């Protein structure tokens, strides 16, 4: 059985993390949960540097075999805190989620769920971010069941490096899921709009309101065969999507292009 650290960005009281943790614990795995004490969605990979981090053990929310903590910090803080101040032994896996809502395409750049998993990958631990691809659905058990099956697969595989996976599960009954696809990151753009409002004292403030742009043409990846769909495309067809990610953001295409264009033959003399 595996030793698993679980975090999220929806907070310690979210149904998704409770369903995930309890499912794994009831299957016999050793589970430790360290989550934000409130919702910290879309915080990206932010860290708490200018105020103290407070953490407390949590009782009676999870299965009795789950050790759980709430933390005042971000999702990335939670994983750092867990690895360095809570766990006595290094976990075999870091799981994040199950997020209430999708993390598809460029969503991963903002996602606290993905960032918690990425923090595990930065420490050389195989890590997975799970997201239920709906904000309105509240049935997390099919996603948790898949997380359990995926854990068994990951435990029996070798990797060239510890993987960082973003998994999105369609919000349908298990019998309606079309299958599982390995996917690549797609595009999920928004029409950004800031609504101006007034508080009770008549002072203005702004609220970000984003509208998803559907049916965007998905770019090809020259490093992958064309039959590998994007996560955005595959989730529409009710597939569970598994998208391997990396934290190295170097754009190798632009690096090669700039070298070919003699980009570094710049005159730095000021003339």
pLDDT tens-digit readout, 128-158: 999 999 999 999 999 999 999 999 999 988 8
Q: How confident is the model at residue 269 (pLDDT cuts 50, 70, 90)?
A: low
d(CA 44, CA 63): 29
**CATH no. for 3-186+221-256:** 3.40.1210.10
Overall average pLDDT of the 174-187 stretch: 94
191: pLDDT strictly greater than 80: no
Give the start-to-end residue ranges of the domains of the chain. 3-186+221-256
Q: How confident is the model at residue 194 (pLDDT cuts 50, 70, 90)?
A: confident
Would you state the pLDDT for residue 122? 96
pLDDT tens-digit readout, 12-64: 999 999 999 999 999 999 999 999 999 999 899 999 999 999 999 998 899 99
Overall average pLDDT of the 90-97 stretch: 97
Would you state the pLDDT for residue 263? 64
């Amino acid at each position: 059985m595996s030793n698993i650290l679980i975090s999220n960005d929806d907070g310690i009281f979210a149904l998704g993390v409770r369903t995930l943790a309890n499912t794994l614990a009831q299957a016999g795995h050793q589970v430790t949960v360290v989550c934000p004490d409130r919702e910290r969605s879309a915080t990206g990979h932010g860290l708490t540097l200018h105020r103290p981090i407070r953490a407390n053990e949590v009782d009676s929310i999870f299965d009795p075999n789950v050790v759980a903590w709430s933390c005042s910090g971000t999702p990335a803080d939670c994983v750092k805190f867990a690895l360095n101040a809570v766990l006595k032994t290094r976990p075999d896996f870091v799981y994040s989620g199950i997020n209430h809502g999708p993390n598809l395409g460029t969503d991963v750049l903002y996602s606290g769920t993905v960032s918690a998993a990425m923090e595990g990958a930065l420490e050389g631990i195989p890590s997975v971010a799970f997201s239920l691809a709906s904000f309105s659905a509240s049935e997390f058990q099919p996603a948790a069941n898949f997380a359990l099956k995926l854990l068994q697969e990951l435990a029996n595989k070798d990797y060239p490096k510890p993987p960082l996976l973003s998994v999105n599960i369609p919000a349908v009954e298990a019998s309606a899921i079309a299958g599982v696809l390995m996917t690549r990151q797609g595009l999920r753009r928004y029409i950004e709009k800031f609504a101006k409002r007034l508080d009770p004292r008549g002072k203005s403030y702004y609220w970000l309101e984003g509208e998803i742009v559907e049916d965007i043409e998905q770019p090809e990846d020259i490093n992958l065969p064309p039959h590998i769909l994007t996560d955005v495309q595959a989730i529409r067809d009710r597939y569970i999507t598994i998208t391997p990610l990396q934290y190295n953001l170097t754009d190798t295409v632009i690096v090669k292009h700039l070298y070919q264009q003699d980009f570094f033959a710049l005159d730095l003399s000021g003339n």
